[in-house]
Amino acid sequence: ESLSAGSEVSQESLLLHGPFARKPKRIRTAFSPSQLLRLERAFEKNHYVVGAERKQLASSLSLSETQVP
């Protein structure tokens, strides 16, 4: 039993779109020394910075919310 050419799935397609496909790497943020200090102090107070606190911290450091770990 053979598959028609239209139903074949290439190995490359499986790697790019299959169940184990890797997400594209995100660009690593290079924090300035002052940003690192502020982030470390925030982390010491609370290991999970979320919600309004995260938004405010990101804004004060000129970072996006996703850049605040």
* Structural Rg of the chain based on CA atoms: 21
Q: Is residue 61 domain-resident?
A: yes
Per-residue pLDDT tens digits for 3-59: 555 555 556 555 566 666 677 777 888 889 999 999 999 888 888 888 888 999 999
Q: Is residue 5 domain-resident?
A: no
Q: Is residue 53 domain-resident?
A: yes
Considering its fold, how many domains does the chain have in total? Answer: 1
Give residue 52's domain range: 32-68
Residue 46's domain is classified under what CATH number?
1.10.10.60
pTM of this prediction exceeds 0.75 = no
